[in-house]
Amino acid sequence: MAQRNGGGKRGDGKMRGGGQFATRMGVVAVTVGSAVGLGNIWRFPFEAGAGGGGAFLLLNVIMVLVVGVPVVCAEFIIGRHTGASATSAFRKLVGERRGRIWGLVGASGLLASVLILGFYSVVAGWTLEYAVTAAGEGFGGKNAADLHERFGAMSADPLRAVGWTLAFLVINYAVLRRGVEKGIERMANVLMPLLFLILAAFCVNSLLLPGTGEGLRFLFEPDFSKITPRVVLSAMGQAFFSLSLGLGCLITYSSYFPKNVPLVRTASMTAGLDLLVAVMAGVVIFPAVFTFGQEVAAGPRLVFEVLPSIFGGMPGGRVWGVLFFLLLAMASLTSTVSMSEISIAWLTREKGMSRRKAVNVNMAVATVLGVMCALSFGCINGWRVCDLTVFELFDFVASNVLLPLGGMMISVFVGWVLSRGVVRSELIQGTVHRSGKQMGCVVSAIVFCLRWVAPVCIAIVFVAGLID
């Protein structure tokens, strides 16, 4: 049950769930591990493709800098200061009664986490299917039209689509059930740098393709005529999604941070690495899109049609393909485990459920939502709200509505409600390389962003994007 603990609580009397991260490196690795996933490698390229390439990238970078980094800091401040997870942290800070309103952040995070889990599992299922295909028949000798047809046939076939989604969910379930997340994290800390290296090798490969010039121009040269309020909203949604921001995930993670972790630096490094991986994915995808005559605005299927055409033409493409898709599935697993933990923590801590039962409930909900998303490419493709399929609707509502709203509340809370002393001391602790004066400026800049820039920016983009 949640602790009743009103008033400003000092950092030293914390209740910690499962110990602390041993090293500063561990803190960065785990935070980056949650951030890096399908959001960078699958979602960023297709959102950028649909949003005009360079224009989308520019907007995304701006959103990460002016909204993303400050809100990551805000989640870190709340988490480390209370040592509690999202659902109880607010109550711990402002007391039971006022905590109720702020508990809305927890509720919207909870809803967002299950919606994301639904469509994320479908895409993670596709990566498993592609890994198996790469190992078996391979992708050699297939042109753009073949790959397009192949993806269409796989995603529209109810048995295959649902089967692979369930296969992924069962793996996720097994990890949660055995409580081996720590083991998964440790494995991920070894495998994620490998994914990074492979991505770097693919970048080199793509830079040698005939369509490189056109691809890079598309990704890096902003065409300002492509900027619409809806594209700005997507760029903001992408920043939130990719940083696992606005649903309280980072509050929970940072509740395990030791006091000597510098929060601003950790937030900046996470954002920087996360952006880097997304840009690298873009550098891999877009030259290939133009070389093989594929469509930039293909949507969720983009990466699944473009990557195989790269593997098909690479020496040792089969091995690269298997390795890449398996590592991507692994990166997805670290993300789905952290999403699942949001509802599991709520069920066990707030509803008094046993962990076993909570994991079962999470799996049941994820199965229903995942199956709906999987089928939305085939037999229930006609079920639409505002022309969006179930899959697209879940993504839109979670990424472009719930995460930014959660982020806005978190930013208002830290900017206006939490005492300035707490904010300052959390931001300053652990920094060794900066003078007091420099840190004073950094703290003022972050507080200014949290009070004014982030909330106003989110509100304007949100309203303009929705009515566009």
Stretch that binds ligand PHE, among 32-40, 226-234, 364-372, 420-428 (CB under 6 A): 32-40
Q: How far is the CB of 114 from ligand PHE (least distance, A)?
A: 11
* Nearest CB to ligand PHE, comparing residues 27 and 447: 27
Q: Under the criterion CB under 6 A, does residue 407 sit at the interface with ligand PHE?
A: no
Our finding on whether 116 is near ligand PHE (CB under 6 A) is: yes
Distance CA 113, CA 184 (A): 20
Q: Which amino acid is at 422?
A: V
Question: Which residues, numbered 243-282, are part of the site for ligand PHE (CB under 6 A)?
Answer: 244, 247, 249
Name the residue nearer to ligand PHE (CB basis): 398 or 454. 398
8-state DSSP, 10: P
Site membership for ligand PHE, residue 339 (CB under 6 A): yes
| Min dist. Cβ of residue 88 to ligand PHE (A) | 19
Contact by Cβ (8 Å): 288, 211? yes
Q: Does 35 bind ligand PHE (CB under 6 A)?
A: yes
Q: Count other C-beta atoms under 10 Å from residue 293's C-beta.
A: 11
* Residues whose CB falls within 8 Å of the CB of residue 151, separated by 6 or more in sequence, listed in order: 301, 304, 305
Binding segment (CB under 6 A) for ligand PHE, from list 95-103, 240-248, 362-370, 406-414: 240-248
Dist CA 76 CA 35 (whole Å)? 14
Alpha helix (H) residue ranges in 138-180: 144-156, 158-178
Pick between residue 44 and residue 286 the one whose CB is nearest to ligand PHE: 44
Residues 6 or more apart in contact with residue 333 via CB below 8 angstroms: 124, 168, 171, 172, 175, 184, 188
Residue whose CB is less far from ligand PHE, 261 or 342: 342
The phi, psi pair for 83, rounded to 5°, reads 65, 20
Q: Which stretch binds ligand PHE (CB under 6 A): 81-89, 236-244, 305-313, 411-419?
A: 236-244
Nearer to ligand PHE, 68 or 465 (CB): 68
Asked whether position 34 contacts ligand PHE by CB under 6 A, the answer is yes
- Out of 266, 335, 367, 411, the only residue in the binding site for ligand PHE (CB under 6 A) is 335
CA distances from 265 to 54, 64, 429 (A): 27, 14, 11
- Cβ proximity to ligand PHE: between 127 and 376 the closer is 127
In angstroms, give the least distance from the CB of 394 to ligand PHE. 12
Residue 242 binds to ligand PHE (criterion: CB under 6 A): yes
**CA distances from residue 158 to 154, 374, 375, 381, 456 in whole angstroms, order as listed:** 8, 7, 6, 11, 43
Are 78 and 93 contacting, i.e. CB atoms less than 8 angstroms apart? Answer: yes
Among 39, 70, 248, 300, binds ligand PHE (CB under 6 A): 39
Q: 17: which residues sit within 8 A by CB, 6+ positions away?
A: 85, 255, 256
- Give min distance, CB of 120 to ligand PHE, in A: 7
Q: Would you say 122 or 423 has its CB closer to ligand PHE?
A: 122
If binding is defined by CB under 6 A, does position 37 make contact with ligand PHE? yes
In the chain, the amino acid numbered 221 is: E
Residue type, 465: G
For the CB of residue 35, give the shortest distance to ligand PHE in the complex, in Å: 5
CB of 133 to ligand PHE, least distance (A): 22
Complex with ligand PHE: residue 211 or 392, whichever CB lies closer: 392
- Distance of alpha carbon 322 from alpha carbon 289, whole angstroms: 21
Q: How far is the CB of 78 from ligand PHE (least distance, A)?
A: 16
Helix (H, G, I), strand (E, B) or coil at 388: strand
Size of the chain in residues: 468
Q: Does 40 bind ligand PHE (CB under 6 A)?
A: yes
Give the whole-angstrom CA distance, residue 467 versus residue 456: 17
- If one asks whether residue 338 binds ligand PHE (CB under 6 A), the answer comes out as yes
Closest distance between ligand PHE and the C-beta of residue 357, in Å?
A: 23
Whole-number CA gyration radius for the chain: 22
Please state the φ and ψ torsions of residue 383, each to the nearest 5 degrees. -75, 105
> Cα–Cα distances in Å, from 136 out to 159, 171, 173, 225, 316?
19, 21, 27, 44, 14
Considering beta carbons, is residue 238 or 389 the nearer one to ligand PHE? 238
Among 38, 231, 232, 337, binds ligand PHE (CB under 6 A): 38
**Where does this chain bind ligand PHE (CB under 6 A)?**
34-35, 37-40, 116, 241-242, 244, 247, 249, 335, 338-339
